[in-house]
Copies of this chain bind each other. A is one copy, B any other.
């Protein structure tokens, strides 16, 4: 066990009324478990998060949904705890807990009184290696998950279009497969599959522990050593080298017609680079680009042009989140005014993007966006949960504490030329998927 490094989070300049100097300390246990402590002594509360470096993009082909399955199964019985006892115990102490799954990670967290950290660590360590999977547990949870999929995806034409678009966006990389899994593969997952997945991936050397709140690093280390230290590492943890994309040579277009659609829209995603460790400048420029183009519902470039000037759109949006292990997407979307066809809405959206690239970035707007980013960063720090989330999500996709702490600087360093260069590169229709969501009545072509 060695103290990894200890760095004060740098202040982001300006906005001098709040201090940004949070204390972040990192350790690594002998069994490979990474520990990050973020001190925040304003309230006697602590957040524990355990992040596994395993998400849906790490599943074996044909076994989609298994990563998300564990987001459910981890609340079932272990050798020491009955099913549901984890959450009941946390709630009895006035805390709350939950879990979530992405393409790249699965995370579990509790927010509880700071003097109860040992309790939640003991339970979290217990379920890391001692979950008691049975056929009954799996079958019951399968029904719950199929219902979750029915509610969230199968009954939502927009979600279905998103799945079909992701599958078309990725020709080779597993981001084309939905996090919740394909229904027929959820239905087919076996106890043997689940057991093998659990034994391989739920282990200290695949986990990142984030503790944020009213705690001292050395106390957290002592507790972590006592609770997680004895856990055996997995010998199945390998570098996450997933299949990468071949050249994408032609835009793919998809029209999903579904009578349940009441508000049609056009959405386009472009393959886009992610934040890479030590090399975050392009992702920073894309982040600013998304904010400028469509980050704000009323003041952004798309909103002004499409909603106010031309009155083509009811809403418009641009979106990008570079925190992923592998390249992902930059998106734009438009919901047309009644009477405006999807084809016209799409053409108007494309014209706005082309005009933006031609006209260049308005320096005042860039300044305003940067100020907003600084401010939201500061507001985000008012919440131990938000900080824990940022550190966990970034570390789980291969970024370092340095990358996390450099990210605000990278965003502030983006120039007008950087934004235009990023836009010129990312808006390549060959890398794009364009989706139309429409009720059946509106003929697509």
Given A164-B250, A172-B177, A177-B172, verify A61-B242 contact (CB < 8 Å). yes
Chain B residues contacting A171 (CB-CB under 8 Å) are 164, 167-168, 176
B164 touches A249 (CB 8 A): yes
Contact A243 B164 (CB under 8 A): no
Contact check, A164 vs B61: say whether CB atoms are below 8 A apart.
no
A160 CB within 8 Å of chain B: yes
Q: Which of B62, B161, B243, B251 contacts A250 (CB 8 A)?
A: B161
Interface presence of A174 (CB below 8 A): yes
Q: How far, in angstroms, from A36 to B167 measured CA to CA in the complex? A: 41
Residues of B within 8 A of A253 (CB): 252-254
On chain B, the residues within 8 Å of A177 by CB distance are: 172
**A153-177: contact bitstring with B at CB < 8 Å (1 yes, 0 no)?**
0000000110110011001101011
B residues within 8 A CB of A168? 168, 171, 252
* Selected contact of A183 from candidates B164, B246, B250, CB within 8 Å: B246
Indicate whether A152 reaches chain B with its CB closer than 8 angstroms: no
Q: A209: shortest Cβ distance to chain B, in Å?
A: 30
Contact B176 A243 (CB under 8 A): no
Q: Which residues of B contact A163 (CB under 8 A)?
A: 246
Q: Taking the complex as formed, is A143 at the interface, i.e. its CB lies under 8 A from any CB of chain B?
A: no
Q: Is A20 an interface residue (CB 8 A)?
A: no
Question: Would A252 and B252 be within 8 Å (CB), given that A62-B242, A177-B172 are in contact?
Answer: yes
Quick one: CB contact mask for A43-77 with B, threshold 8 Å, 1 for yes? 00000000000000000011010000000000000
Within 8 Å by CB of A254, from B64, B246, B251, B256, lies B251
Residues A114-133 near B (CB distance < 8 A): none
Q: What is the chain B residue whose CB lies nearest that of A258?
A: B249
The interface bits of chain A over 233-274 (1 if a CB of B lies within 8 angstroms of the residue's CB, else 0) are: 000000001111011111111111100000000000000000
Check A182 for interface membership: any CB of B closer than 8 A. yes
A6 at the B interface (CB under 8 A) = no
Among A184-224, those with CB < 8 Å from B are: 184-185
Give A257 to B249 CA distance when docked, in angstroms: 9
Of the residues B167, B241, B252, contact of A172 by C-beta under 8 Å: B167
Q: Which residues of B contact A247 (CB under 8 A)?
A: 183
Q: How many whole Å from A171's CB to the nearest CB in chain B?
A: 4
Decide: A251 near B255, CB < 8 A? Known: A61-B174, A182-B172.
yes
A-B contact pairs, 29 of them (CB 8 A): A61-B174, A62-B241, A62-B242, A62-B243, A62-B244, A64-B243, A160-B249, A161-B250, A164-B171, A164-B249, A164-B250, A167-B171, A167-B172, A167-B246, A171-B176, A172-B182, A183-B246, A183-B247, A185-B246, A249-B256, A250-B254, A250-B255, A250-B256, A250-B435, A251-B254, A251-B255, A252-B252, A252-B253, A253-B253
Residues of A within 8 A of B (CB): 61-62, 64, 160-161, 163-164, 167-168, 171-172, 174, 176-177, 182-185, 241-244, 246-257, 435
> What are the 8 closest A-B residue pairs judged by CB atoms, nearest first?
A62-B243, A167-B171, A182-B246, A253-B253, A250-B256, A250-B254, A61-B243, A168-B168
